[in-house]
Amino acid sequence: MQDSRVIEIDGVFLGAAVALPDDRGWRIVVADARVGRLEGTIAPSLQDVRRLARQAYQAARIVPVLVGV
């Protein structure tokens, strides 16, 4: 059976990290469109998965400010 971990940032469920065989890393399975670009990404560690998810989630939360419109 494969090992998997929940990816949650700031209380928001973003998806899961699924362990690859032979300690080859973790594959990201996305459940939230804000981090959709990470679907299928392979990271070497859970720490890397969480870092990537946090970066993508925070980038998606930024609302551009239009000046002079």
Task: Write out pLDDT tens, residues 27-65.
Answer: 999 999 999 999 999 999 999 999 999 999 999 877 667
The CA distance from 49 to 27, in Å, is: 8
For the chain, what is the domain count?
1
Backbone angles phi, psi at 43, to 5 degrees: -120, 150
39 with 30: CB under 8 angstroms?
A: yes
In a domain, 69, yes or no: no
pTM of the model: 0.84
Question: Is 11 a domain residue?
Answer: yes
pLDDT at 69 over 70: no
pLDDT for res 66: 77
Domain that includes residue 29, residue range: 4-61
